[in-house]
Structure 1
């Protein structure tokens, strides 16, 4: 009985807190190249990134750091990625809120959950439109970061997978 009491008293809080301690704090940095995508540094792409970063800062005032960048492939696929780091108590509701925030801008249809296989991380993707093109918008949120990608010429499944690859390269948990 004592062992069961100790397991319930100490084990449950540790199990609940583990994703928090693994995912927060985190830092972010955009690599020059990732998964066949190259970071664009032309004036238009820089202006887009600066605008998105300012919007992220405004929408997420408690963000510790923000980032944004435009990536392209040699065959014309475009990925715009943006987000921020900082503590998030409820990543699932934050993922839903981020998709809701972007719904009007990208005329998003209903979002679908994407399996992340990471406890404490929630991802949503939705099909929409930007500049006359069909896009997929995916957001991935855990206890230490929020990362959103806008993908052209990719399916929802491929967009979700690519967002996970980008997220792993951009966001680094600061483990002590």
Structure 2
């Protein structure tokens, strides 16, 4: 220090000490109010606010810039309302997305079920076609096998036994007795 200056005897207090001293002085004249959010969080039983001040004693002691002992200011309330509106809009948007996704899921499930029913009907139709084709092939094989067997008569395509012949030539098998000679002359 320069030699021409007068040195004062006062102790330098830190800002924390000055805040505590100020809080002690304010505490003597402060009025008990509804607790601010900081006092509630720290479980301070009394929230005292000096007359003409916006900050309670405990908030002044720690140097808190925001004390809501007198309630919230309009900008804080507007900010909360704006946040609520934004969140409500986002929630509605998310709900709409869920609803549209649910509708898409229902439509996809219905389409899958419809396609499954169509596939089953197609499978049944294909099975019926294969069964019919198998029957046709089996019938053709039977006919080919019958044609391939050798016949015992010399005449092909002519029946070996004619039932009308029995009536004319074997009188005992017919319902009315006739004479063979009479039967042969009737022709």
TM tier, shorter chain? Answer: under 0.3
What TM-score results when the alignment is normalised by the length of structure 2? 0.20
**Structure ranking higher in strand proportion:** 1
Tell me which protein shows more helix as a share of its residues.
Answer: 2
User: Rg bigger for which structure?
Assistant: 2
